[in-house]
Amino acid sequence: MTRTELLAVLEHLEPAIAALESRVVPSSFDPDDPEMRAVPLPLKWRWVSCEALFAAWQPRIVMSRLPIFLQVEPLLYAACQTVGAPIALNEPQNMPVGRSIIEQADVDTLVTTVEDASVFSAHLAGAGAQLPRRWLLIESVRKPKELPAVLKRRQIAVAREMHLFPGVPVLAQCLALSAQKKSLYHAPAGCDVRPGAPALVSVEGLPFEVRELELPISLHHEAPCACGREMFAAS
């Protein structure tokens, strides 16, 4: 299955979404994407990889700088609730307010996009402000970008996820990988990832079929992770 075929499925499905008992997310992280479609997700959809990561991290307070447009705040809130961590929202455009929230509330965990992490971490470092100790970064499926130097500091853990659509991760990192900060990933629960060039993914639980979808990256097997799970290197 190609991305073009997937978008065609979504386009065909869109008139029926209103009659489904579903939430919607955009098909793209880019609000200006001319190919953007509405993606229905079951109302019971959970961000399981985030919940698993939070179970390991046990965050105290989670701040999200994810654009509201991505429609994932309720999923992130549910993940925060599994560990009893309050959530704070900060508009990406308002970095000084974000810095103030981190300082006033002693935020220890930040969730944002890869692009924003680069900009915001530079803002915090430039202001001599404290950085949250843990960062969860999400992005669309693509060749991984280098982390900014600020986030490579040993005392900061960074977990990265690649999402097919916002809220639908297909590659995620565990506690051990968040410490290593390399382009190594697991397949989250509900995803069947087949390494190769290109890699293929099948996703369960969606109200439409995603089977052996070609991803715009290559994956190859690595030795099993310290957590015991199958691990892939992305390029």
Partner 1 sequence: MNVRDMQALVERVTAPSAPPIYKRLYGQSERAIRAIEDWHALPPLTKEVLQATPLRERLFVPLRDVFHGIYVSSGTSGRPPIVMPRARLDGFGFSGSEYGRVLLSSMNYPHRAEHYLRKLGRAPRVVALDPKRVTPCVRLAKAAGVDGMYVYPFLLPEIGRAMQAIGYAHNITRIACGGEHTTTSLLTFVRQVFPRAELSGNYGMSEVEDSPVGELCHALTPEAPVSLYHPKEHMHIDLAHPESGIHLPLRKGSVGELLLTSAPPGPLALPLIRYRTGDLIEIVEEACATHGKLAFRVLGRAEEESLKIEGGVLLATEVRRVLRSLDGLLSDEFELHHREHETADGPRPEITLCVERRGTVNFAALAREIAERLRVGPAYTYARGVAEGRYLPLRCEPFLEAGGRKRRRLVKK
Shortest reach from residue 62's CB to partner 1, in Å? 9
Q: Which listed residue (31, 196, 216, 224) binds partner 1 by CB under 8 A?
A: 31
Chain residues 76-105 in contact with partner 1, contact rule CB under 8 A: 77-78, 81, 84-91, 93-95, 97, 100-101, 104-105
Place of tokens 């999400």: 138
Shortest reach from residue 173's CB to partner 1, in Å? 25
Report the residue number, 88 or 231, with the smaller CB distance to partner 1. 88
Nearest CA to 139 among 159, 114, 172? 114
Report the residue number, 2 or 69, with the smaller CB distance to partner 1. 69
Place of tokens 């950085």: 131
Report the residue number, 134 or 160, with the smaller CB distance to partner 1. 134
Is residue 38 within the footprint of partner 1 (CB under 8 A)?
Answer: yes
The whole-angstrom distance between residue 87's C-alpha and the CA centroid of its chain comes to 16
Is residue 36 within the footprint of partner 1 (CB under 8 A)?
Answer: yes
Report the residue number, 61 or 187, with the smaller CB distance to partner 1. 61
Nearest CA to 109 among 143, 148, 66? 66
Chain residues 163-222 in contact with partner 1, contact rule CB under 8 A: none
Is residue 32 within the footprint of partner 1 (CB under 8 A)?
Answer: yes
Chain residues 102-161 in contact with partner 1, contact rule CB under 8 A: 104-106
What are the DSSP calls for the chain, one per residue? --HHHHHHHHHHHGGGGGGSSEEEEES-S-TT-TT--EEEEETT---HHHHHHHHHH--S-EEE-S-GGG--HHHHHHHHHHTT--EEE--TT-HHHHHHHHHHHT--EEEEEHHHHHHHHHHHHHTTPPPPSEEEEEEESSSPPPPPGGGGSTT-EEEEEEEEETTEEEEB--HHHHHH-SSEEBPPTTEEEE-BSS-EEEE-S-SS-EEEEEPSS-EEEESPPTTSS-EEEE-
Region binding partner 1 by CB under 8 A among candidate stretches 17-25, 133-141, 206-214, 220-228: 17-25
Chain residues 60-79 in contact with partner 1, contact rule CB under 8 A: 60-61, 67-69, 71, 73-74, 77-78
Q: Which listed residue (4, 12, 18, 204) binds partner 1 by CB under 8 A?
A: 18
Shortest reach from residue 96's CB to partner 1, in Å? 8
Residues making contact with partner 1 (CB under 8 A): 14, 17-19, 21-26, 31-32, 36-38, 43, 60-61, 67-69, 71, 73-74, 77-78, 81, 84-91, 93-95, 97, 100-101, 104-106
